[in-house]
Structure formats: C-alpha cells, structure tokens
Chains A and B, each alone.
Chain A
Amino acid sequence: MAQASTTLGLMFILTKLTVVSTMYLLFIQEDKNMKHRVLRLVAVGVAAVLTTFGVAVGNAVAKDKMVIAVPTFLTGGGAPAFGVPARNGTELIIQAINKGQVPAPYNTKGIAGAQVEAIIYDESGGGAKQVTEYRNKVQKLGVDMFAGFVSSGTCAAITPVAEELKTLTVYATCGTPRVFEELDKNPKYVFRTMSHATADGVALAHYVASKYPSANGYTGINQNYAWGQDSWRDFDLAMKVLAPNIKGSDKGQWPKIFAGRYGAEISALLKSPEDLVHTSFWGGDLEAFIFQGLARGLFKKKTFLMSVAGTAAYRLGKKLPAGIVLGSRGPYGIYANQLTDTPMVKWFNNAYVNRYGTQPTQPSYQYAQAILGAKFAYEKAAAANSGKWPSTDQVIAALEGATFQGVATEVRMARSNGHQGVTDHAWGVASFDKELGLPVVSEVMHFKGDCIMPPDGMDSVTWLKGGMKGAKCD
C-alpha cells in the first residue's frame, strides 16, 4: 500500500511537471524554429497522457488486507482532548484485532480474515479541507472505509461527499443530529455508531430534573460555535419539557472558541442568580476555565453541568472541581472504567493503561466502538457471502439496523433507516478519590437510549419542542 502510494505520488509529480514544463515551453522558450516547438509539444503531450494513464491504472488496490482511514485531530486544540485518545484507542483495537486478542465475540484474527491497516490522519483545518482529504483518501489511496471523525462540522461536510463517492463511512464521535435529520435523510454509505448530541442534553435534563428539582434556574457558558450552540439549545429545550419550573437564563455566556481567558465571563456567572450552569466546553478551554474558576471560588458557588468534562477528568486529577455533574457523551470513559465490569471493558482498560500509562477516555472508547462496528459488519456480510470478501453493499446491508457489542455498551443501529446508533447514557457527579489517585463518579444515573433519543423518523428539535413524545423511559 505504502509502495503504491509512493509510486502514485511520483507519477503525480511527473504529471504536474509536464504541465509546468508545457507552460514553460510555451511562454518562455523563444525558439525561432517552429518545428522544434511543435515536436516538443507533441513529446510533452504524449508524456502527459502516459503518466496520467499510468496513474489511472495504478489505482487498483489489493484485497488481501483492508485499509481503514481514521480521521481525528492530530494538531491544534482538538488534539489532546479528542485526537490523542482517539488515536490511541484506534491503534490499540486494530493491533488487537490483527492479533486476535480482542475478547469475544471479536476474538478472530483480522476483519473477515484480512489484516487491517489504519491510516490515521489529521482532521483539523475546517470542513472544506477535510472534504479534500477525504477525496484523496478515496480516490488516491483507495481506502476501503472510513471510521472516525470527532467534529460535527467535519461530519456535516463529509456526509454528502461520502454518499457521492459511495464509500462506507462510520462516524465515531461527532455529535450533530443534522447529519441524518437534514443533510442525508436517506443515507446509504454513512453510519454513526453512537447516539447523537441531543441524547446528551436530554439525559442531562432528566438527571437535573431528578437530582436538582429545587434548583432556581440555570444559565450557561458555551463556546460560540456550532457545538456549543447546539448543546445549549438541546439542553434548554429538554429542560423546558422535563423541568419547566427550573427557568433558563437568556444571558448565557458565549465566548469565542479558544478564547482562553474567561475573567469577565466568570464575573458574569458569579453575578447571575441561577444555581446551575451548563457548559459544553472541552479541551484547553475547559481546563483554562476550570483553573480560572477555581481561583475565584466559582465551583463552590455554582453547580456545573459539564457535558464533555470526561475528556479532561483524568488530566485534571485533583484539580477536577468536586461536585460537578460530569458527562462523557455516553457510558464511556470514566463511566466504563469505573462502573462497567464486562471482560471487554476490563481488557480494553488494562491494555490501554499498560500501553499509554493513562486511563482511556470517551474518544478512545468511541473510536474503538466504530471499528468494532466495522468488524462486525464485514464479518456478518462475509458469512452471508459464503466466506468471501463482501462487497460494500453487502457490508452496508449487514450493518443497517443491526445490533452489535461495542467496547463499553451495546449499539443498536435503530434510527434513520438503521444508520444511526442508539446507546445508553450515564450522568453522575465527579470527585477525586485520594486513595485511588483517580477522579471518580457517584450518584450515577443510567438512561436507556430510547428514552433520550428521538424516535425513528423524528427530527430532534421538533421532538424536543413537541414535548418529547414517544420517549420510552422505564
């Protein structure tokens, strides 16, 4: 594979050289002899055609091993919180799959017999750049499928392109419900193996309604971009349905993403009358906000609902403010590490800690889950195809509407024509356990997927605004 790509790269350079040299010949060279010019032109033309044909022919990829492209943040602000744990989780699970070390039901070597190569690449740079990279991975490297994507923005950008290029793409982490509700109502090639972000807000609202029924209100501080805006909207709408007596503030704070300095925002929050503060901060912004808030006693005065604090819990350690309501975007990370007792989680946690010296967080679980989804689908399709390597259509058929075991939870592909996963969710209160030397969660409530996700065919915002009809909560 690597060799093929190098060859292709060389051919590519040759092609471009011919174009450039053509320009050079035409614009620069002052050769009075017209015949020479024409001859040279023909030569360049032939070379161009040959090299480009060579590229076109070289595109075939051998099938004895499969290639999964795994996009995640390797640079920029998203790397520490999401990219690095996601990459670690991916590397771990893929190596284990290739060696057959994953616990049952995934204890066969490889995926449907093929060894897996993961091309882990950088997701930063914005939607347009990512679409370009996606096309490259498909058209140049001929990858079999994609598993990954952290950012909602990237997923929104990739969805139509994945359909256009007819490439199996399994979203691992990105949260926006827009993917199947708006952008791609009739998906074929695109899947998502975890609940979307609406589930976070709804589950949190359930948690608040039952644990803080007498709170006098809630305000928020969210980054002023799509993720922050959506997170607040979903939580706010769900609260209006589930706890109408707890009033939301219309003076929530909207700092710019990566602002890093929150002095005035903290003053405004300290001044605000509401007891509860919702935030979907993550990564460096979250950590900076916590340090600055701690220095001013903010977390003693307010109860914080932090939907993505799971990404920072272990790193903050004893600086994790005690008593915050902490989310992990599902039963991943700290919830799995501490509370889930299955052989799968035990194995994953052990292997991860041994290899990287730190606890796995939610992106590690979510990425591994997406790849297990792929293994499940390929093997199911291969079995139906009498053991032969399945076509993409067969893999899609196998995954649509299926239920498979992820690392930390069962995933039911039960929404959006069987393309959107539904999983359980968990919320609890964080504190630091001095004896363990680790942050822990208590007061944990679990929520069933059908209770916190809109029913099939229903748009999230409509569902929330309509009073969340059809939610199945036991």
Chain B
Amino acid sequence: MVQLLLGWFDLQLIFTILTDGLIYGSYLFIVAVGMTVIFGVQRVLNVTHGSFYAFGAYLAAYLGGIWYEHELPDFGGFVIIFLAAIVVGVFFGILIERGLLKHLYGKDEHIVVLATFAAFLALEGIGLFIWGTDPYFFYQPQMMLGFVEILGMTYDYYNLSLIVLALIISLSIWYFLSRTIWGRLLQAVIFDREVSQAMGVNVTAVFLGTFILGTTLGALSGAAIAPTISVLPGIGVEVVVLAFAVVVIGGMGSIPGALIGSVLVGVVRAAAIHEFPQAEMFVIYAIMAIVLVFRPEGLFAPPAVRKI
C-alpha cells in the first residue's frame, strides 16, 4: 500500500496532471461561464450557447484568415478574437433575447430549454449556409506565442493563457457583481424579480444586458478556442453538452461553482488520461451523475427551502 502511494508520488506526473487539468478546466469554464451567467439571472438553460460558441469561432477564424492572408502583423489575431466575440455577442444577444426569449419568460423551464434547442438547430443550419462545410484555420495566434518547458514537460503559452483568461473573466464578474451598482441591481433582480420591478429596476434592460453579456462570453469562448482547433460544422454540439455538465456540477448559475466544478472535471479528466486513458469518455458524465445524485442543486448552489 505504502509502495503504491509512493509509486503515485511522481512529481512530474502530479504537476502535469494539475497543469493539464487547469488548462482543460479553464477551457470548460470559459466555455460554460456564459451559460452559467444567463442561467443564474434569467433561469434560462440556454442551448443556443453552442451556436454562439460556433459563430464566435467561425467569425474569428474567417476574419483571421483574411488578416493573415494579407500578411498583416501577427498580434492582430488577438484583436480579432475580441472583436469577433463582441460582434457576435451583441448581434445574437439582441436577436435571441428580443426575438425569442422575451416571449417566453415565465413559461415552463422545459419549454424555454426546448425553444433554445430549436433555435440552436436553426442556427446550426444558418451557420452551414453562411460558412459552408469546409473548415477554417486560425492557428497563427497559438503558434506565434511559442512554448515553454517546465519540469521536462512542454506547454505552449497560448493554452496556458487560457488559465489567465478564465481568471480574468471570473474576477471581472466577481468585481462587477459585488462592487458596482449595476452588479447590485443585478443581484436584486436575481433575488426577487417582482420586487425589483416594483422598486423601479428596469428588469427588461437587466435581462437584455445579461443575455448580451452571456452571449458575448459564449462567442468569446469560441473565438479564443478557434486558434487551437479546426473550425467546422458541428463544433457547437459538443460544447452544449460540456457546458450543461459544468452548469449542473457547479450549481445552477453559480459562478464560483462553475469555476471549481470546471477545474474538478479538468483535473479528474487529466488524471484519467494519464493513468486510465480508457475512462476519459465517462469522466464528465460520471461526475455529473454523482453530483446530481448526492447534491442535485450542484456543488455550490444554496439548497432551496420549500415553503408550506
């Protein structure tokens, strides 16, 4: 037993598992945070999130393609990532919130999920029309940053920077919620929509603003991941399931929950990949099922009290 434990204590392995786990966890968090924000405020489990991810990735890769084709400076790729995120986020945020969700507030949660599922299907179709089936490449930002060797393991700066991006996003949201008036208003709306409305908070504007924020984060995740993947039809589908899982594990709508849930999944998954590669496929669903069975409100959501 002791020997087994010592055998496990392989510093490089532990470091690698933690780093891989952090990177993957950051990826999950970046991908899921938009969905979490929207769920937290609007109680809408938004499947179209997958489309925002895809559209963000597509627009970034499309613009990036043009940019690099003209051999413009390399750093432009990073500007394009944020630009694409904002364009997609604002456009689709307004479109979906005003055009669809507005009509569904107050309806059954399931119906809203289904409506966003339907919109997701339609957007997938529209995406095919706009972008076609051929993949788009946008690898330059990832390649230009180079890599570093730590404890005999190479990591590239771009993927490491995802950890920083995840931190920046979570800190900004935390700051926004707890230190700004807007954040306070938002929390009031989350706490009690009717009362906030009665007290003169413009709930409509808050909802629209939140949704645009969520969409932009979704698009940003796609744009930020685009340099590491091949952007092609169907990338949104995978993301929906992952983001769902994070939202469930972390606690519906809890940002710290999403962060810690993501890292948990990331580290467990990395450990599986290094030690039990065959189990990779189940890790996230298994964690999700375990959390649901033992803590259905998620790791971080306060348990709801039922009134008689």
Contacts and interface: CB of A to CB of B under 8 A. Distances in A.
Contact of B128 (A75, A83, A261): A75
A252 to B, nearest CB: 6
A76 interface: yes
B58 interface: no
Interface string B140-178: 001101010000011110110000000000000000000
Interface string B220-243: 000001011110111101100000
B147 A296 contact: yes
Contact of B232 (A80, A292, A294): A80
A253 B273 contact: yes
A440 to B, nearest CB: 20
B277 A268 contact: yes
B35 to A, nearest CB: 17
In which size bucket is the chain B interface? 35 or more
Contact of B153 (A253, A259, A260, A271): A271
Interface string A240-261: 0000000000011111101111
Contacts of B102: none
A84 to B, nearest CB: 6
B269 A295 contact: no
A236 to B, nearest CB: 15
Nearest to B13: A271
Nearest to B274: A268
B21 interface: yes
Contacts, number: 134
A224 B296 CA distance: 29
B229 to A, nearest CB: 4
Contacts of A75: 128, 133, 233-234
Interface in B249-274: 269-270, 273-274
Contact of B133 (A79, A253, A264): A79
B134 A80 contact: yes
Contacts of A76: 233-234
A306 to B, nearest CB: 15
A256 B133 contact: no
Contact of B238 (A254, A260, A265, A291): A260
B81 interface: no
B139 interface: yes
Contacts of A252: 277
Contacts of B159: 263, 292, 295
A241 to B, nearest CB: 25
Interface stretch (A159-167, A177-185, A281-289): A281-289
B133 A288 contact: no
Contact of B277 (A253, A284, A288): A253
Given A224-B281, A264-B21, A264-B270, A287 B133 contact: no
B133 A319 contact: no
A287 B228 CA distance: 9
A315 interface: yes
Given A284-B135, A284-B235, A291-B142, A263 B230 contact: no
Interface of B: 12-13, 16-17, 19-21, 23-24, 27, 128, 133-135, 137, 139, 142-143, 145, 147, 153-156, 158-159, 225, 227-230, 232-235, 237-238, 269-270, 273-274, 277-278, 280-281
9 contacts: A74-B133, A84-B133, A253-B277, A258-B234, A258-B238, A263-B20, A267-B20, A292-B228, A295-B147
